Chain A
Amino acid sequence: SQTIHQWPATLVQPVGSPLSLECTVEGTSNPNLYWYRQAAGRGLQLLFYSVGIGQISSEVPQNLSASRPQDRQFILSSKKLLLSDSGFYLCAWSPRQGTLFFGSGTQLSVL
């Protein structure tokens, strides 16, 4: 069966520090991969999605970037965090055409 791992669960970072969130999927190959961000009590904002290794589509022109170095690995990064980067970050995967399966999320607080 397929599983998705996202870590860490919580993260507190100072403004200006770098960020690296990692997400890995097991039990499937060539999945679509996604990063979403959710502000407290709000909907999900699509940040990045990827249909293959090295193929990243960006939806939000901010100081975040994403990379897919391996088929089932998706990394969200920032060189310098801003206060506005705080939020709940969710990784998800899907088959070519189908439902999304979400990780458990990372609560990021930038102070």
Chain B
Amino acid sequence: SQQGEEDPQALSIQEGENATMNCSYKTSINNLQWYRQNSGRGLVHLILIRSNEREKHSGRLRVTLDTSKKSSSLLITASRAADTASYFCATDAGGYQKVTFGTGTKLQVIP
């Protein structure tokens, strides 16, 4: 079963705009991660945020975590056409070794 759900399922924006994706999960976690997947490829890790952290930055990425609401958001600033991909959150609710993924947000950035 899916531990997380991303919202929205699909997002289409113009190049240069910001993109925000949300992830909700069901049970307590140790950490939450965001991954990116280009069509037909494997996933690539973007960023990890631990349960005792509230915000983390990496380049144009900003991730927030609200454990009281069991939710996280991924913000991509100044989006580029190359950011077009699907984005997934992943949690380890079942223990560090058991990593489950959300349903994903499909992002399209229009040049």
Contacts and interface: CB of A to CB of B under 8 A. Distances in A.
B41 A44 contact: no
Given A99-B45, A102-B44, A46 B100 contact: yes
A51 interface: yes
A46 B40 contact: no
Interface string B28-62: 00100101000011111100100000000000000
A94 B99 contact: yes
Given A44-B88, A105-B40, A105-B42, A100 B99 contact: yes
A90 interface: yes
B96 A90 contact: no
B90 interface: yes
B98 interface: yes
Contacts of A107: 40
Interface string A76-111: 000000000000101010101111111111010000
Interface residues of B, number: 23
Name the residue among A43, A57, A98 with the largest chain B CB count within 10 angstroms.
Answer: A43
Contact of B42 (A51, A59, A90, A99): A90
B97 A32 contact: yes
A18 B88 CA distance: 31
Given A44-B88, A96-B96, A90 B43 contact: yes
A74 interface: no
B27 interface: no
Given A43-B2, A43-B88, A99-B33, A104 B42 contact: yes
Interface of B: 2, 30, 33, 35, 40-45, 48, 88, 90, 96-104, 106
26 contacts: A32-B97, A42-B103, A42-B104, A43-B102, A43-B104, A44-B43, A44-B88, A44-B101, A49-B97, A49-B99, A51-B97, A57-B98, A90-B42, A92-B42, A92-B43, A94-B99, A97-B30, A100-B35, A100-B45, A100-B90, A100-B99, A102-B43, A102-B44, A103-B42, A104-B41, A107-B40
